[in-house]
């Protein structure tokens, strides 16, 4: 069988990417000018990638029984160099030739062993490749990924996104007066198909949309805005390879791409004195969700820790609003990078009463920047020095620079009014499309937790 008959499609290369940002990182390297002596044969593809490193990275790929080897320091397999080399190969930009010294022994070893007995990819060693440079730790042996399962997943996701776009086109043509929209089953059927397509984040949005139809005088505007957001996410997810690394990760997570905690904890820690600014409990698809909003004293950056509880389980109670932790945080990928995991704590929690609040104008600027970066976000934290005031028939947070509406039905509104005494007070809130949900009032001697509390009858053990 000829090498050309074995050549992959671009979709197969994309399916091997361990995360969406890997494709975005590989694209700039997938040009012939970045490679020294690239080549391929009936078994492998090889080349030496040039860049910011003093020496090129030697990269080899077995395209028969997919496996990868590279002298770069990345601990992700396949690395961006292997993906870039494969992209060059599938585009026909890698000439056929004879494998050089850094590739031939490894490819020969793999070719001599039946596929079922293929060993893990070996580390670089003096016998098979130039020794790794002192500043570069070789990759651990990666386990070859089953290409077919990734291909199936990508195919399902693409099919689900295409079906969602067709459904949105139908809604645009028929309008929101279509009687079928009043039936929950019409939305639930679509959501179930999106779950099957492994885009569960979009499925959750569709199910929430069903609850908006026919509720309140503004439901048409709300549903139309959400349909537009679904179209934005579906279109962006269909073009992940063209997006920047952080944006590709943010889109993928929003549509339902799962990120393993182990991968997050393998990243770079963010160490700071993290103040627990607020807590918010919500019910999402029969699951109780608790959000803790933390803010770094040194950096001023926000972070969100999540806790989940199904029936018979309890939410995390280890953090207390108004305290601070000297700890490491590990952020999930994304442009904003709000969601995080708590790492090692370097000292016991301490009270944190002296918080720094901003003006309403500054809060609106920060919110606007966040929405420009990730337009689909549904919650964003803010800390303002403002007064709760009644105006035009609803409650707002206001100061001399501006105001934001308070979300209707906020459970802590009465306590907020009492604590403020009609004057400005430091308030941590959670912006939502319906308005700001007050979470905490920061007084001189204490922090008052106002956030909505989980249904304890639901989470309590039976």
**What is the C-alpha separation between 103 and 108, in angstroms, rounded?**
9
- Look at residue 291 and tell me whether its pLDDT is greater than 90: yes
The pair phi, psi for residue 240, each rounded to 5°, is -60, -35
- Look at residue 398 and tell me whether its pLDDT is greater than 90: yes
Encoded tokens for 456 = 């304890």
The radius of gyration of the chain's CA atoms, rounded to the nearest angstrom, is 26
Residue 54: pLDDT band with limits 50, 70, 90: confident
Residue 285: pLDDT band with limits 50, 70, 90: low
Range from 57-71, 75-89, 140-154 carrying the lowest mean pLDDT: 140-154
**What is the C-alpha separation between 192 and 187, in angstroms, rounded?**
9
435-442 and 394-399 beta bridge pairing: unpaired
Tens of pLDDT, residues 347-397: 999 999 889 999 999 999 999 999 999 999 999 999 999 999 999 899 999
pLDDT confidence of residue 346: 94
Tens of pLDDT, residues 164-201: 988 888 888 888 877 878 888 888 888 888 888 888 88
**What is the C-alpha separation between 298 and 301, in angstroms, rounded?**
8
- Look at residue 245 and tell me whether its pLDDT is greater than 60: yes
Residue 150: pLDDT band with limits 50, 70, 90: low
According to the 3-state scheme, what is the secondary structure of 358-403? ECHHHHHHHHHHHHHHCCCCCCEEEEEEEEEEEECCEEEEEECCEE
CB 48 within 8 A of CB 58: yes
Query: What residue has token string 């056929």?
Result: 96
Question: Environment class of residue 445 by beta-carbon count within 10 Å: exposed (0-12), middle (13-18) or buried (19+)?
Answer: exposed
Instruction: Evaluate if pTM is beyond 0.75.
Output: no
**What is the C-alpha separation between 157 and 366, in angstroms, rounded?**
33
Kindly list the distances between the CA atom of residue 48 and the CA atoms of 34, 128, 216, 296, 412, in Å, as whole numbers in the listed order: 8, 15, 62, 42, 61
């Amino acid at each position: 069988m000829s090498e050309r008959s074995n050549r992959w499609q671009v979709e197969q290369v994309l399916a091997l990417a361990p995360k969406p940002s890997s494709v975005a990182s590989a694209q700039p390297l997938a040009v012939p000018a970045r490679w020294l002596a690239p080549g391929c044969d009936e078994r492998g593809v090889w080349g030496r990638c040039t860049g910011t490193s003093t020496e090129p990275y030697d990269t080899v790929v077995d395209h028969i029984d997919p496996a990868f080897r590279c002298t770069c320091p990345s601990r992700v397999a396949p690395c961006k160099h292997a993906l870039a080399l494969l992209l060059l190969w599938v585009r026909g930009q890698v000439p056929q030739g004879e494998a050089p010294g850094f590739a031939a022994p490894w490819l020969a070893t793999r070719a001599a062993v039946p596929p079922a007995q293929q060993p893990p990819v070996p580390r670089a060693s003096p016998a098979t490749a130039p020794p790794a440079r002192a500043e570069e730790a070789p990759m651990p042996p990666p386990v070859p990924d089953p290409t077919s399962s990734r291909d199936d997943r990508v195919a399902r996701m693409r099919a689900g996104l295409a079906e969602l776009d067709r459904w949105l086109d139908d809604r645009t043509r028929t309008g929101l007066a279509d009687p079928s929209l009043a039936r929950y089953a019409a939305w639930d059927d679509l959501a179930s198909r999106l779950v099957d397509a492994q885009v569960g984040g979009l499925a959750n949005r569709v199910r929430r949309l069903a609850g908006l139809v026919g509720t309140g005088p503004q439901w048409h505007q709300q549903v139309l805005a959400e349909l537009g957001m679904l179209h934005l996410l579906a279109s962006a997810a269909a073009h992940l390879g063209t997006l920047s690394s952080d944006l590709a990760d943010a889109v993928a997570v929003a549509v339902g791409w799962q990120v393993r905690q182990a991968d997050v904890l393998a990243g770079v820690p963010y160490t700071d004195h993290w103040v627990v600014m607020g807590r918010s409990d919500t019910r999402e698809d029969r699951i109780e969700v608790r959000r803790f909003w933390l803010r770094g004293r040194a950096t001023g950056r926000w972070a969100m820790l999540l806790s989940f509880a199904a029936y018979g389980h309890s939410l995390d109670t280890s953090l207390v609003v108004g305290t601070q932790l000297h700890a490491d945080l590990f952020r999930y990928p994304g442009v904003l990078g709000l969601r995080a995991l708590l790492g090692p704590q370097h000292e016991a929690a301490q009270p944190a009463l002296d918080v720094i609040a901003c003006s309403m104008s500054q809060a609106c600027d920060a919110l606007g920047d966040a929405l420009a970066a990730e337009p689909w976000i549904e919650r964003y934290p803010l800390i303002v020095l403002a007064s709760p005031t009644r105006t035009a028939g609803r409650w707002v947070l206001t100061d001399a620079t501006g105001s934001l509406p308070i979300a209707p039905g906020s459970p802590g509104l009465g306590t907020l009014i009492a604590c403020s005494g009609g004057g400005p007070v430091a308030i941590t809130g959670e912006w939502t499309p319906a308005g700001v949900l007050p979470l905490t009032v920061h007084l001189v001697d204490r922090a008052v937790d106002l956030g909505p509390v989980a249904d304890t009858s639901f989470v309590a053990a039976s």
